[in-house]
Amino acid sequence: MNKRLLSLAVCAVLCAGAAVVRVAAQDADINNGRVVEMIHLGLDDDIVIAKIKSGKCAFQLADPDLMELKKAGVSSKVVAAMLDASVLTSARVAVDKKSVEMHTLAQAKVGGRLGSALTYGIKSVKSKAYLDGPHSAAIANPSPVISVELPRGETIDSYILVVLDGKKDRRELEVASVGGIVGGKSGIRAEAIQRTSSQSLGGNKFNLTTETLKKGEYFIYVVGSADSIKGVYGRGYDFTVE
């Protein structure tokens, strides 16, 4: 390979590397440092705010952070946009430091009809909501660290831990029972609810602690999230203890 071809090859590699760096920078979260960088580049406030609104943001906005932003020349208009972008609309939940997505118990099945008919109503008819799949994508240890950051207006008391009945292709949760000796009941069975305690971490951040969990399927259920008219039997965050 002559010197000219070698130079062209080196240039191509460098250009490709620069392109990768640019793409990585574009995909990165917009944090405090990135906002300061854009301000120092001379970008107009409206442009910076547009970037904040369209990007994936991860800001630190405690009082000391706000003072540092002010010292760096970030306008109050931009800081206000940063604060707006940081307002939660739904809880952030992590189990053993792994983020867990919210799922909806939107499907229901009814079991026990035949048994109820054969026993003239002595046995109850049970309604069960379920999640597809035998296991959650989030795997936890028997003593999981559950962290919850809440939107404004929500309380940690609305988050309860329940055990799901594991099946071959789904995980079930009884949400109602009709008939039988005790009559009709709605809501989650008491024996499915796991005992938890909450520890405030300041602001709207909490840790939920529980007793050592057995191997199985679990769901952090949001009380009041059910809407039977819409076919929603509750929302929450699932994980599997192996």
Question: Within the chain, where are the H helices?
Answer: 3-27, 32-40, 45-54, 63-71, 76-85, 113-118
Longest CA pairwise span in the chain (Å)? 93
Q: How many residues does the chain have?
A: 242
- pLDDT, mean of each 10-residue run, the chain (242 residues): 49 45 51 94 94 88 93 95 86 94 80 38 70 95 95 92 94 76 64 95 92 97 88 93 94
Two tokens at 140?
């936890």
- What pLDDT score does 227 carry? 87
Strand partners, 178: 125
Residue with tokens 């940690």: 156
Strand partners, 179: 124
Per 3-state DSSP, the chain is made up of helix, strand and coil in percentages (nearest 5) of 30, 35, 35
Burial of 224-233, coded b for 16+ CB within 10 Å and e otherwise, reads: eebeeeeebb
Two tokens at 39?
């301000």
Cα Rg for the chain, rounded, in angstroms? 26
* Cα 117 to Cα 87: distance, rounded to the nearest angstrom: 52
DSSP summary character for residue 137: S
Closest to 52 (Cα-Cα) out of 73, 70, 36: 36
- What pLDDT score does 7 carry? 52
Look up residue 22 and give its amino acid.
R
* Cα 160 to Cα 94: distance, rounded to the nearest angstrom: 14
Two tokens at 88?
């939660």
- What pLDDT score does 5 carry? 47
DSSP summary character for residue 242: -
Evaluated on CA atoms 20, 55, 86, 89, the torsion sign reads: negative
* Cα 206 to Cα 155: distance, rounded to the nearest angstrom: 10
Closest to 123 (Cα-Cα) out of 190, 181, 163, 176: 181
Structure-derived torsion over alpha carbons of residues 47, 50, 52, 56, reported in degrees to the nearest 10: -130
What is the rounded end-to-end Cα distance, in angstroms, of the chain?
57
Strand partners, 205: 149
